[in-house]
Structure 1
Amino acid sequence: MTIKFKSPYRHRSVVPGLPAPSEYSALLDEITANGWYSNFGPLVRRLELGLLGAFGRPTECCVSCSSATTGLSAALLAADVTGAVLVPAFTFAASLGAIRAAGMTPVVVDVDPESWVIDNDLLHQALTETGARAAMLVAPFGIAYDWTKEIATCREHGAAVIIDNAAGLGGPRAPHGNGENIFEVFSMHATKPFAIGEGGAIFASLKSDMPLRAALNFGLASYQNAHGPFWGFNGKMSELHAAVGLAQLARFDRIVRHRQAYVRRYLARLATYSNLRYPLDSKAAPWQLFPILMPTPQIAERFVATAANEGLEIRRYYRPSLSDWPSTRIFSPCRVAEDLAERMCALPIRSAEPDADLVMKIVFEALDVALD
């Protein structure tokens, strides 16, 4: 029996942009000939080298994983930390889940109202008072951010840095200085710009290559090489997903150019509105979605409802704030993140989809109604 999914929207917020099977069918034949389907096989290694060449640095390794969430957990294990891990309140729930999955305790910290990233003063205070040995720094919406201050704060406290940049693969990356115990994790989920269906990539210092692979493979490699981590889980990427990734890598420059061009169209139209906040640099991300901060929660609700009446899905990120999740330890009140979560809307991005012009039209008609 064939099961078909039918979206309640004529225009979904995210349209997965995977390569056609014909673009990687030869690689599937190669997998069959090799008889190697998982466990860091030849296509996985080829994809890692390709990603490293396209987006990495000579001082880094690139380790693939089954998802960005498993990548975050593996990075925490590879950093050899235990106990509390700081995480910003304004992020997707996967950041929280990855810390818990690694056997550690998330401690939620409020964010800066301008940058939307973890507040550096609170980061310093929380590291001091909790004794946390790691901090997860989240790049909201995959927007490039210079982490120099935050990394310096973590270094001062001897804390590892895990950068959750799930939506940012293919965007600019800020330098990290001495990269030991600094990990940057990206997603290749079907909804992301670099879409392969499901998967992730971890960029870290060369020294972290084996510990990351051990964490993603039940800790087995650590026992063979006498260094940690000494436990882990199955978080490896399959050869099948790597085949899709190699095909995606070959065409990804064009995808990013199209998505950034769509953002430039947004920016040109948004310039006529005086009461909205949004990123101004079209090249700051590969753009899974484009965030706009509404003046009030009520206007945000009206905008979403008006667009839905025209068949367009508008998503709300990151809602609710992690500070509102049950059984979560909060360092201090997270008023900024809670306010952002109630007012933030994420506009759809199109590459070359047939509905690109119509989506743009519906967005601005709904904005006019919501702001009236």
Structure 2
Amino acid sequence: MSRIHLSVPHLGRQELRYVHEAFESNWVSTVGPQLDAFERALSSRIGRPAVALASGTAAIHLGLRLLGVGPGDEVLASDFTFVASVNPIRYLGATPVLVDSDPGTWMMSPERLAEALEDRGRRGRRPRAVVVVHLYGQCADMDALGEVCARHGVPILEDAAEALGATYKGQPAGSMGEVAAFSFNGNKIVTSSGGGMLVARRPEWVERARFWSTQARDPGVAYHHSEMGFNYRLSNVLAAIGRGQLEVLDERVRQRRAVAFRYRDAFADLPGLALMPQAPYGLHTNWLSCFLVDPDRLGATRDDLLAALDAADVEARPLWKPMHLQPLYADCDRYGGDVAERLFELGLCLPSSSNLSLEAQRRVIDVVRDVAGAPRRPGRSPGAAPAADGAGPRIDVPHHRQ
């Protein structure tokens, strides 16, 4: 049996057609019609101007620079996230300050954010920006977070790397902060093999980021530079892949959600295994199918499941390890952290590819049921996702104050 991976690219004929056009036109570097078309398509989808970059990390880096982040500044950031959400803060010589999650959504806690901003304000250290991360395909509560930030005069950068296609009260992820970053890494819901996109409220900011992304070369025939720039532009060939992928985004979202809900239904009789909460305020793409494991009720730990899945040649992962548990960021100030720690301790990501076959998903389901000591269901294949979006039984994550 072949290995079942966590999240793999799902490519089609349109991507190949656009790549052929790029080769036939000989536009293969960091300019070209595919690049322009990719930016236009993403801009139309989000409702803001966009510039295509080499990675989502590059987009966060340039986005923070647009917000004026520099040496000596502080930037508040989600504690429960991938390290790329936080590293660019340090690229700019600034200091991350970590904010815990809300147990009901897993996103940044508005209450903890308010506590952090009030405390930094009392100390005369108002942060330069807040990096709000939309995790695993779900948006953070942007009304609540935005209200807190507006009260303190601090702009938001949306890290929407994991949330392309998600919505918040009808608004696309990436359309609500001053700046936003997307990723098209190979494991994302749509991919350009590697790449990212920066969008911003102000068109002139996007043009400034475009300038910085091509080594900040000043106009003219000479190679003249008055600002620091970076080699951050996406290539026309990779943009061709992304352009084709973006055309099937809605279908990929439907497929990812179907995978998540098939797992949910297959585990509905297992106490102690709960799908990630589906916040009522928007569309969750379920980029990854994430579950919390209550070992006392399931009769097995998260690590028991990881070990059994690995033995069955199935790739599964824990949820993100919080930044305050990373040696790189262990010395950062933080507000809370218990929720993020508990999510990491209990959380499990199962194979979630949009092209995951029913047979492969049955393999995953059978391993989980075996570990839990539950009988398999002979002859039954996981069916299509039902219309209801509820997460099913919930495992509470305590939210204790530190």
TM-score band by shorter chain is 0.7 to 0.9
Partner of 1:291: 290
Match of 2:58 among 56, 70, 74: 70
Distance in 1 (alpha carbons) for counterparts of 2:157 and 2:127:
13
Counterpart in 2 of 1:4?
A: none
SS at match of 1:64: strand
Equivalent pairs: percent with the same residue? Answer: 26
Indicate the structure with greater helix content: 1
Question: How far does residue 146 in structure 1 lie from its aligned partner after superposition?
Answer: 3.3
Query: What is the TM-score normalised by the length of structure 2?
Result: 0.79
- Counterpart contact for 1:290–1:348, Cα < 8 Å: yes
Q: Quote the residue 1:241 is aligned against.
A: 238
Residue 195 of structure 1, aligned match among 174, 181, 191: 191
Distance 1:232 1:272, change over 3 A: farther
> Does 139-148 or 179-188 show the bigger shift?
179-188
How far off is 1:116 after superposition? Answer: 1.1
CA contact (8 A) 1:74 1:102 kept: no
8 Å contact 1:220–1:231 — kept in the other structure? Answer: no
Q: SS in structure 2 opposite 1:162?
A: strand
Indicate conservation of the 8 Å contact 2:75/2:130, yes or no.
yes
Distance 1:362 1:81, change over 3 A: closer
Any gaps of 5 or more consecutive residues in structure 2? 221-225, 375-402
1:240-267 per-residue CA deviation (whole Å, 9 max, x = no partner) reads 1111112222333333322222223223
2:74–2:126 contact (8 Å) kept in structure 1: yes
Give the secondary structure class of the aligned counterpart of 2:355: coil
Alignment partners' CA distance in 2, 1:25 and 1:62: 21
- For normalisation by structure 1, the TM-score amounts to 0.84
State the SS of the aligned residue for 1:24. Answer: helix
Instruction: From the superposition, tell whether residues 258 and 18 of structure 1 become closer, same or farther in structure 2 (CA, over 3 Å).
Output: same
CA deviations over 1:192-250 (Å, ceiling 9, x no partner)? 11111001122221332223223423344699xxxxx9434221111111111122223
Q: Residue 290 of structure 2 aligns to a residue in which SS? A: strand
User: 2:44 matched to 1:50?
Assistant: no
Deviations 1:113-170 (A, max 9, x none): 2211122222122223142110111111121333111011111112121111212112
Alignment partner of 1:118 out of 104, 108, 128: 108
Q: Tell me, yes or no, if the aligned pair for 2:57 and 2:84 is still in contact at 8 Å.
A: yes
Deviation at 1:37, TM superposition (A): 1.4
The CA deviation at 1:365 is 3.4
The answer to whether 1:104 aligns with 2:94 is yes
Conserved? CA contact 1:139–1:163, under 8 Å: yes
1:291-310 pair list within 5 angstroms: 291-296=290-295, 299-310=301-312
**Cα deviations by residue, 1:283-310 (Å, 9 ceiling, x for unpaired):** 8333331110111496100111111221
How does 1:196-215 map onto structure 2 within 5 Å?
196-207=192-203, 208-215=205-212
Distance in 1 of aligned mates of 2:33 and 2:336? 48
Q: Distance in 2 between matches of 1:222 and 1:271?
A: 62
1:93 paired residue among 71, 77, 83: 83
**Residue 133 of structure 1: which of 128, 132, 138 is its match?**
128
How many positions carry a matched residue from both structures? 351
Q: For residues 306-341 of structure 1, give each alpha carbon's deviation from its aligned partner in whole angstroms, at most 9, with x where no partner exists.
A: 11221111111202x100112421324412111111
Residue pairs, 1:350-365, within 5 angstroms: 350-353=353-356, 355-365=357-367
How far apart in 2 are the matches of 1:194 and 1:252? 7
The equivalent of 2:3 in structure 1 is 10
For the pair 1:28 / 2:28, whether they are aligned, the reply is no
Describe the shift of the 1:36–1:310 C-alpha distance in structure 2 as closer, same or farther (beyond 3 A).
Answer: closer
Seen in structure 2, the aligned counterparts of structure 1 residues 86 and 64 have a Cα distance that, compared at 3 Å, is same
With over 3 angstroms needed to count, the CA separation of the structure-2 counterparts of 1:30 and 1:148, relative to structure 1, is farther
Query: Residue 37 of structure 1 aligns to which amino acid in structure 2?
Result: S
- Matched residue type, 2:363: K
Aligned match of 1:37: 29
**Partner SS state of residue 231, structure 2:** coil
Which blocks of at least 5 consecutive residues in structure 1 are unaligned?
1-7, 224-228
Give the conservation status (yes or no) of the 8 Å contact 1:43–1:242.
yes
User: Residue in 2 aligned with 1:153?
Assistant: 148
Do the aligned residues in 2 keep the contact of 1:67 with 1:188 (CA within 8 Å)? yes
Instruction: Mark the CA change 1:221 to 1:185 in structure 2 (over 3 Å): closer, same or farther.
Output: farther
Q: CA RMSD in A?
A: 2.9
What residue is the counterpart of 1:5 in the other structure?
none
